Structure 1
Amino acid sequence: MNNHEIDYKIHGDDMQFVEVELDPQETVIAEAGSLMMMEDGIEMETIFGDGSGSQGAGIMGKLMGAGKRLITGESLFMTTFTNVQHGKKHVSFASPYPGKIIPMDLSEMGGKIICQKDAFLAAAKGVTVGVEFQRKLGTGFFGGEGFIMQKLEGDGLAFVHAGGTIIRKDLQAGEVLRVDTGCLVAMTSEVDYNIEMVRGVKTALFGGEGLFFATLRGPGTVWIQSLPFSRLASKVFAAAPQTPGGGSPGEGSLAGGLFDLLGGK
């Protein structure tokens, strides 16, 4: 084992957080801003790069790791949390929006998982957070979630977050699953991933769905989410009051009526 072996417990239902138990000198890495709480005796350090165990490989290695993260739209930095005392200590990381946290043991999944670029939450030290370029141009240009996905490599535990309810599908050899591009959370490395255009002009223009969907061909395992964050954000934006200058609440709303009654106009 090259990765630190960590124990964990996931709390909550729709707004989950993961509590990681660290033995002395054990370390967990996490995205900046995901910390919820930690006990005394845990040392926090910001590192430059992808959080792999090769941080001492020199300035070029660090720059390469940081550059990969910059390409995926993530921060140049990650944070490590190390138990520097003798007893067991706990540190917790919270999900950024309603959904589920999925624990993934990379040693049971061929040492590599490919996931959407903002899915990674935390992992045992030694897990590398890198970049997975799609081989097909169609996948890159029309993939919905973008040309670039994250890859998590190592033999330890990693925690991935996604929106709504998560379902795991184990695909047999040659079995095909078509999903909305935004609903794909993660997949094992042997899954063949491509993008297809929705057939039929009327279906594409008036069906209410996207013009493209992801085609996943087995063998392998995929994880699908019921509520992509982009879909949630678009619904919130559509329901927000659209007033000139972003002023008072909507005219027809209860809040708008109360605003007028109090002399807000």
Structure 2
Amino acid sequence: MNNHEIDYKIHGDDMQFVEVELDPQETVVAEAGALMMMEDHIEMETIFGDGSGSGGGLFGKIMGAGKRVLTGESLFMTTFTNTGSGKRHVSFASPYPGKIIPMDLSEHSGKIICQKDAFLAAAKGVSVGIEFQRKLGTGFFGGEGFIMQKLEGDGLAFVHAGGTIIEKKLQPGESLRVDTGCLVAMTHDIDYSIETVKGVKTALFGGEGLFFATLRGPGTVWIQSLPFSRLASRVFASAPQMPGSSSKGEGSVAGGLFDLLGGK
């Protein structure tokens, strides 16, 4: 194993956090802001990139950090190292309701492709890079963008997603069509493409968007029931309107009657 061999335990149900157990001198790397709590003798350090050691020198670190900017993430990541003589624990929390998925990269040919905001933490040595979708249709109409995160190595990585998560194994030639926002992660051998919704009425009035993702096996995919973008749009639509807005009563029947009666 080139990566640090960490132990872990996931706590909670809908608002989960992962507790990582570190032996002396073991290190875990996490997204900036993911820390929940840590015990004494855990040393925290902010670094460029993922700290995997690939790329070599300052230029390599800057290039690694620059790639993270393309995925919308911070330039920096944070490492947590056990500098004590016994086992210590550090915990990381997911940023919104959902599940944390532990992934042993050694069981998936050393590579997982995930949505750009899915990565939470990993054993030191796991490389967090970017994966460009090869097809232009996927890039321009993929809903979640054509730049995805790429996790490489032979250690543990933790990915978070919204709602309930289902893992599906696709056989050779088997396909699955999903909403573009519901795809969390997939193994590198999955063929990923974007298809248009057939039928003008379905496309315009179906409420599901104009495109969906088609995943073809063999390989494994992870699907989430509640993408954060869907949750955010519902919250925004239900939020109180600012003063002067034409919307009254939060879209309720009472609000509609208020408008009909000439309410200001």
Task: Answer yes or no: same fold by TM over 0.5.
Answer: yes
RMSD, aligned α-carbons: 1.5
C-alpha distance in 2, partners of 1:48/1:158?
Answer: 18
C-alpha distance in 1, partners of 2:31/2:201?
Answer: 42
After TM superposition, the runs of 4+ consecutive aligned structure 1 residues lying more than 3 A away are 249-253
Tell me which residue corresponds to 1:258. Answer: none
Other structure's SS at 2:81 match? strand
8 A Cα contact 1:50 1:69, kept in partner: no
8 A Cα contact 2:241 2:250, kept in partner: no
C-alpha distance in 2, partners of 1:3/1:226?
Answer: 31
Tell me which residue corresponds to 1:27. Answer: 27
Tell me which residue corresponds to 1:78. Answer: 77
Tell me which residue corresponds to 1:8. Answer: 8
8 A Cα contact 1:29 1:123, kept in partner: yes
Tell me which residue corresponds to 1:59. Answer: 58
Offset of 1:50 from its aligned partner?
Answer: 2.7
What do the CA deviations read for 1:192-215 (whole angstroms, capped 9, x no partner)?
Answer: 000000000000001111100000
Tell me which residue corresponds to 1:228. Answer: 227
C-alpha distance in 2, partners of 1:225/1:13?
Answer: 15
Offset of 1:51 from its aligned partner?
Answer: 2.8
8 A Cα contact 1:3 1:127, kept in partner: yes
C-alpha distance in 2, partners of 1:194/1:251?
Answer: 38
Unaligned runs of 5+ in 1: 254-265
Tell me the percent identity. 87
Tell me which residue corresponds to 1:210. Answer: 209
Unaligned runs of 5+ in 2: 253-264
Tell me which residue corresponds to 1:172. Answer: 171
TM-score (norm 2): 0.92
Offset of 1:63 from its aligned partner?
Answer: 1.2
C-alpha distance in 1, partners of 2:158/2:180?
Answer: 21
8 A Cα contact 1:179 1:213, kept in partner: yes
Offset of 1:88 from its aligned partner?
Answer: 0.1
Tell me which residue corresponds to 2:258. Answer: none
1:42 partnered with 2:42: yes
Tell me which residue corresponds to 1:103. Answer: 102
Q: 1:136 to 1:83 in 2, by over 3 A?
A: same
Tell me which residue corresponds to 1:116. Answer: 115
TM-score (norm 1): 0.92
What do the CA deviations read for 1:35-67 (whole angstroms, capped 9, x no partner)?
Answer: 000000000000011331337x21111111011
